[in-house]
Amino acid sequence: MSDLRGAVRERRIRAQDGLSLYVRDYGDVLSTGPTVLCLGGLTRNSKDFGRLAPRLAAAGRRVVCPDYRGRGRSEYDPDWRHYNPRTYVDDMRHLTAALGLHSVLVIGTSLGGVIAMAMAVSMPTVLAGAILNDVGPEVDVSTLAPVIRFMQNTEPAADWEEATRRLRGAFPGFSDRSEEDWQRVARTTYRRGEDGRLRFDWDPNLVRPMLERNEGPVDLWPLFRALARVPVLLLRGANSDLLTADLAERMAVAHPELTLVTVAEAGHAPTLDEPDALRAIDDFVGRF
């Protein structure tokens, strides 16, 4: 049998409403352990896992990285009201069924972590474990104000230098990263249009649900408590303003099998290529 560990397959599946969703599928489809399901943040896409996924696949894992609806190479939803966690969870239910995934270990960054918590309620027999990347059961929507402002600026960037400069200006506390790191983030944030200019790699309507509720706390403790039956790794950026140190400690107390790792010099959210994060992920995934 040929070695499938380094292979990546590009797939498309249909969501419950017929929308076409793009998926990167890495590694050996015959892998016996839980499939690693990588879920990104609010505006992010499967390119965020372009280095982590091959790493895990090389270790013998199957790794599935979807683009949410309205992001990357998935279709944009004609009704912006569908851009909400309930719809995304339904999309993951259809994705796991379409790809025959009976057991998944979710790596969820920010919004992806919220979806992982919701899957513990709606898909309890499928979820084998979760890595929550800088997100917890209390979300103060007001802390997302910089993200919302950035999303509202839909003016195209002329080149990658300008795109990188915009990102650094909008998120100065994101991480202590090199210029090369920032350029890589820019290339997973923007796409080049037919006119040669760079635009966000997501539907501009994605911001509209955020504008309807842009302040106050969101209580997700009931969803988090549903994770109690599975192991959880919690990664917290040391400089994060979304997941406070106090909240992370309370999560560790509330969950009997939670491992808390603080990622040095990272804000919201760690990119998952930091040495602290990689060591924790390798160790956690290796337990399954």
Q: What CATH number is given to the structural domain containing 133? A: 3.40.50.1820
The answer to whether residues 49 and 40 touch, using CB atoms and an 8 Å cutoff, is yes
Domain hosting 280: range is 8-140+217-285
Specify if 170 maps to a domain.
no
Confidence band, pLDDT 50/70/90 cuts, at residue 129:
very high
How many angstroms separate the CA atoms of 135 and 147, rounded?
Answer: 15
Specify if 153 maps to a domain.
no
Q: What is the pLDDT of residues 160-182, one digit of tens each?
A: 999 999 999 888 776 657 888 88
How many angstroms separate the CA atoms of 91 and 68, rounded?
Answer: 8
Which tokens in the block code for residue 194?
């037919």
Cis peptide before 170 (omega within 30 of 0): no
How many angstroms separate the CA atoms of 65 and 277, rounded?
Answer: 18
Specify if 85 maps to a domain.
yes
Number of structural domains the chain divides into: 1
Specify if 160 maps to a domain.
no
Specify if 104 maps to a domain.
yes
The answer to whether residues 121 and 86 touch, using CB atoms and an 8 Å cutoff, is no
Specify if 190 maps to a domain.
no
Specify if 34 maps to a domain.
yes
Number of H helices, E strands in the chain: 10, 12
The pTM for the full model equals: 0.95
Specify if 195 maps to a domain.
no
In whole numbers, what is the pLDDT of the chain averaged over residues?
Answer: 93
What confidence score (pLDDT) does residue 2 get? 40
Query: Taking Cα atoms as reference points, which of 207, 213, 223, 212 lies closest to residue 138?
Result: 223
The number of angstroms, rounded, from the C-alpha of 131 to the middle of its chain's C-alpha atoms is 10
Confidence band, pLDDT 50/70/90 cuts, at residue 231:
very high
Query: Taking Cα atoms as reference points, which of 65, 71, 22, 64 lies closest to residue 43?
Result: 71
